[in-house]
Structure 1
Amino acid sequence: MAHSANAAHQKAARRTFFHVHLVSDSTGETLSALLKSVSARFPSAKPLEHVASLVRSQTQLDSVLARIEQAPGLVLYTVVDSGMRRRLEVKCAELQVPAIPVIDPLLNAFADYLGLEQTHQAGMQHELDEDYFRRIGAIDFTLAHDDGQNTWNLEASDVVLVGVSRTSKTPTCMYLANKGVRAANVPLVPHVDPPPELSQLRKPLVVGLTANPDRLTQIRTSRLSNLGSEDRAQSYTDAENVRDEVRKAKRLFVKNEWPVIDVTKRSVEETAAKILTLMSIRRGGEG
């Protein structure tokens, strides 16, 4: 009876929080992203994340196993070395906690399909290769072309985002830059004509970002409140002014035949994914 009560208590506790150990012989970024994605499906339970990255020696693994024993929970791992994998799996079996090699099914499917052997070198995806330097270059470019800077050089962009204030232009650009996309953004400011370079662009994909005016008004009001400047720009948060800004922006998008994304109910990641899809379709059409 006492055992069943204790089991019920542990199950109830897991509904509130649970331990997750992320064990990787590389940076652990893949595991962190996967945990975030999966745990979002279970909003009533919060993961207590324990990250063990660059685990490549038996001594390092000993420390990891000790932490797992102290705080038992799910173990997600990406470890190449077969001996270290085996030790981790055996210890988790003893503790009766799941040990999940999260990318093994994908690797095995690739190997079967391609008929090739997998490499067994840890952390190869993080080598300083051409893709790495492309991403760094994209981030530098995006920072230099944020919020309407250097509009004379917009033709060098892969994508240019245009929209009124608080339509997530900057965070979306930074997310794209981390994907290696040279992203610039140009704000649409009341009573100021957009830079003439915008309508003359040929190479970059230009995308208009819009949002529900009422939601924009709330975001702007909250923004000014957090900055302690509620009284400094009444027109910035005036509902009718915001609606007028959005109407004029949409007319500009239609005039230039730019694709439009409504970001009202989209996360930055979702907006960026849509933009990447538009870029892919455009490249296909050009091809």
Structure 2
Amino acid sequence: MTPARPGRLATYFHVHLVSDSTGETLNAMAKAVTARFDGIIPIEHIYALVRSSKQMDRVLEEVAAAPGVVLHTLVDAELRSQLEQGCRRLDMPQIAALDPLVGALSRYLGAALSTRVGAQHALDHEYFNRISALDFAMAHDDGQGTTEQLEQADVVLTGVSRTSKTPTCIYLAHRGIRAANVPLVPGQENGERLTTLKRPLVVGLTVSPDRLVQIRRNRLEGLNADRASSYVDHDAVREETVKARRAFERRGWPVIDVTRRSVEETAAAVVNLLQERRARGEAPR
């Protein structure tokens, strides 16, 4: 029998993220890639809005002081060249993170590339639509708003307390989707008013009772609140979730189980439901 291998210690490495814009795209890409490696922990050095040779000199100084991998999304040819030459001198790997995708799309589309820095953050209609969606989500959080106001939503999320309704609405708003949420509260709100909605898609969120009790207990501990209540009682919570699930099924609302889903995954599932609804021609204009 082969002896068990001792637990492997985490490996740390420096990653330098260089962008001539906000750096959000590059940061998200770096996190997504490094998450694919077990036991690997990046030490991030973020350089945003790098738009001059002097700024690049400072970047290269910090790269030299903390050797590692350099990722960039630079558009300006001169700054790219300065970074590439500097990394060669330091014998440091540098990767233009978007080049493979941009190159492939350029060949497919036969279109010229834009050299405008931060083009994806332009103050266009889509940007203002996201801001409007965010305002809507905040104004219609946790059951706020009349039925008439909820009618203006693209989607209304409902479910018992602590099923990630609010963070999912905020995430959807960043994609320009007007989302509201209405919690189901025993003896107060049963979601009946949502049955009259015509325009929005109503989606029920559910979670396993065990997971819900854990989440609620953590919530109460954070508030230094009394834990002895039906809010965290296993039997009461189980009954609450079962009633909610039956209500969703009775009303014909699609249901998403968030027990093992992140907020991003829940939001993606909601987007898929919206797209399916539009494909069936059921979404009002």
TM over 0.5: same fold? yes
Q: Is this contact kept in 2: 1:139–1:177, CA < 8 A?
A: yes
Q: Is this contact kept in 2: 1:163–1:188, CA < 8 A?
A: yes
Task: Give the alignment of 1:28-107 within 5 angstroms.
Answer: 28-107=23-102
Distance 1:218 1:185 in 2: 22
1:165 to 151, 161, 165: 161
Task: Give the alignment of 1:68-147 within 5 angstroms.
Answer: 68-147=63-142
User: What residue is the counterpart of 2:4 in the other structure?
Assistant: none
User: Residue 198 in 1 paired to residue 194 in 2?
Assistant: yes
| RMSD after superposition | 1.4
2:231 to 236, 242, 255: 236
How far residue 55 of structure 1 moved from its aligned partner, in angstroms, is 0.7
2:203 to 191, 207, 211: 207
How far residue 195 of structure 1 moved from its aligned partner, in angstroms, is 4.7
User: What residue is the counterpart of 1:8 in the other structure?
Assistant: none
Matched position secondary structure for 2:242: helix
User: Residue 279 in 1 paired to residue 274 in 2?
Assistant: yes
TM-score (norm 2): 0.93
Q: Is this contact kept in 1: 2:184–2:191, CA < 8 A?
A: no
Q: Choose 192-201 or 238-247, whichever is displaced more.
A: 192-201
TM-score (norm 1): 0.92
- Which runs of 4 or more aligned residues in structure 1 lie more than 3 Å from their structure 2 counterparts after TM superposition? none
Aligned in 2, Cα 1:40/1:151: closer, same or farther, shift over 3 Å? farther
Deviations 1:152-181 (A, max 9, x none): 211100110000011100111111111111
Q: Is this contact kept in 2: 1:135–1:180, CA < 8 A?
A: yes
Q: Is this contact kept in 2: 1:154–1:197, CA < 8 A?
A: no
Q: Is this contact kept in 1: 2:21–2:49, CA < 8 A?
A: yes
Q: Is this contact kept in 2: 1:253–1:260, CA < 8 A?
A: yes
User: What residue is the counterpart of 2:216 in the other structure?
Assistant: 220
Matched position secondary structure for 1:223: helix
User: What residue is the counterpart of 1:23 in the other structure?
Assistant: 18
Distance 1:76 1:214 in 2: 42
Deviations 1:188-245 (A, max 9, x none): 00122435430011111111000000110111111111211124x6110000000011
Q: Choose 188-197 or 218-227, whichever is displaced more.
A: 188-197
Question: Taking every aligned residue pair, what percent have the same amino acid on both sides?
Answer: 55
Matched position secondary structure for 2:231: helix
Deviations 1:36-80 (A, max 9, x none): 111111241211111111111101111111111111111110111
Q: Is this contact kept in 2: 1:207–1:258, CA < 8 A?
A: yes
In structure 1, give the amino acid aligned to 2:26: L
Unpaired runs of 5+ in structure 2? Answer: 1-7
Identify the structure with the greater helix proportion: 1
1:260 to 249, 255, 259: 255
In structure 1, give the amino acid aligned to 2:203: V
The number of aligned residues is 274
In structure 2, give the amino acid aligned to 1:116: A
In structure 2, give the amino acid aligned to 1:194: N
Distance 1:196 1:190 in 2: 13
Q: Is this contact kept in 1: 2:17–2:47, CA < 8 A?
A: yes
Matched position secondary structure for 1:148: coil
Matched position secondary structure for 1:116: coil
How far residue 281 of structure 1 moved from its aligned partner, in angstroms, is 0.8
Q: Choose 58-67 or 38-47, whichever is displaced more.
A: 38-47
Unpaired runs of 5+ in structure 1? Answer: 1-11
